[in-house]
Amino acid sequence: MRQWQKAIMPKPPGTNPSGVGDGRRPGLRYHRGMIHPTRRPRRIAALAVTVISGCSGIESSATPAPERGSPEGVAGLAEEHVPDADPLITVGRTATRRFFEGEDDALWEAFTSELREQLGGQQAALAAARLEVEVELGAEVEVLWEELVGQGDQTVYVRTSRFENFEQHFQVVFAIDADGALASFSIQPVQAEAPSDYLDYRTKTELQLPFEGEWTVLWGGRTLDVNYHTVYPDQRFAYDLLVMRDGVSHTGDGTSLEDYHCWGLRVLAPGRGSVHAAGDGHDDNVPGEMDREHALGNHVILDHGNGEYSFLSHLQKGSVAVEVGDEVDVGTFLGRCGNSGSATEPHIHYHLQDTPDFIQGRGMPAQFRDYVADGEFVERGEPVKPQVIRNQ
């Protein structure tokens, strides 16, 4: 299959996104109005137009930025307000719409002077770029998710979509500077699932689902279309789990933590082991906001004694019920579902990996025993989005 990439941008200031353990900063990921953490490192290229035939591999995607004030009114890009969305998501959505719909005057006005200079001062470059996208990729047919990630003094909006001429997913990327202006723009192929030596691995620990009652797999599975975690080696097989009722995760407008169906529900040990790490004391985020500096938030890491380690994160402040060195059994109460760390909506993040070091290990498949998925009994398996699951 052909590989295609288009970039119209100066390179943003360059250090790795900052965060926990390796200098990476978590970002925000939106999917159908929801936001989820991501740490994906990306590269933003210099001004280039590239059409490559005879594809072998996939280019990595974009990069991005930090804390910043509201851009409302800045560069005229905040008029498409979306309830409960970060204002910079609105900036990115508006810029994307203007590009696809040919509103070049407004989009040009939103560019930084440096980006205009990079384009030779020629606004016509936008029309030429759009024509190339239309010919090569075709129309955007589905938005899969959106995210904000941070680097330096910029925030980057990344929109992952399907286009009619390619099976491969592509990303629309706008870098937004501290003043709300657009500092770079590209459309490029999404990165693939991280390679893994554990694709055929059989989980040693007897695992059960780490909760009571019915929960929904928001993100889970082995492919990128059902699990954005798959691009990260440490979270290659991770899960985000929450409770849905009538197709939504909360009552009312979702502005209060108490609105969320899974808020405060019991989180249980998925298998026998000892507590390697336990963290508490981080505040639960207001819905739609996040703690970028403490990605795990309140959390428990379990050592199963066989080279497997369970990570359970985003627990409710003050609820962690175990300490380092405690022995746990299947079903031991660990804490309550919260919204701490790099989470903007209450949910359980769970993954299994081969070291107890966050970000440094390699993710392992978590095969649960004796559960029900969409009404069908599963003796041993890996839940997949969007299954509704419960213990037998």
Identify whether residues 235 and 156 lie together within a single domain.
no
- Other C-beta atoms closer than 10 Å to the C-beta of 43 total 14
Identify whether residues 229 and 289 lie together within a single domain.
yes
Identify whether residues 221 and 290 lie together within a single domain.
yes
Q: Which domain holds residue 333?
A: 215-391
**What pLDDT, on the 0 to 100 scale, is given for residue 151?**
63
Residue 277's CATH number: 2.70.70.10
Q: Is residue 250 part of a domain?
A: yes
Q: Is residue 199 part of a domain?
A: no
Closest among 193, 191, 198, 194 to 233, alpha carbons compared: 194
* pTM score: 0.65
Q: How confident is the model at residue 297 (pLDDT cuts 50, 70, 90)?
A: very high
87-101 and 124-136 helices cross at what angle (nearest 10)? 80
Lowest pLDDT segment from 48-57, 120-129, 149-158, 186-195: 48-57
Identify whether residues 235 and 317 lie together within a single domain.
yes
3-state SS string over 253-269? CCCCHHHECCCCCEEEC
Q: Is residue 202 part of a domain?
A: no
Q: Is residue 323 part of a domain?
A: yes
Q: How confident is the model at residue 153 (pLDDT cuts 50, 70, 90)?
A: confident
The domain boundary residue, chosen from 171, 189, 207: 189
Identify whether residues 24 and 81 lie together within a single domain.
yes
**What pLDDT, on the 0 to 100 scale, is given for residue 355?**
98
Q: Is residue 111 part of a domain?
A: yes
Q: Is the predicted pLDDT of residue 368 greater than 90, yes or no?
A: yes
**What pLDDT, on the 0 to 100 scale, is given for residue 85?**
60
How many distinct structural domains can be found in the chain? 2
Q: Is residue 42 part of a domain?
A: yes
pLDDT tens sequence across 326-355: 999 999 999 999 999 999 899 999 999 999
Identify whether residues 271 and 173 lie together within a single domain.
no
Q: Is residue 237 part of a domain?
A: yes
Q: Is residue 195 part of a domain?
A: no
**What pLDDT, on the 0 to 100 scale, is given for residue 322?**
98
Identify whether residues 102 and 222 lie together within a single domain.
no
Closest among 278, 66, 104, 72 to 185, alpha carbons compared: 104
Task: Indicate the length of the chain as a whole number.
Answer: 392
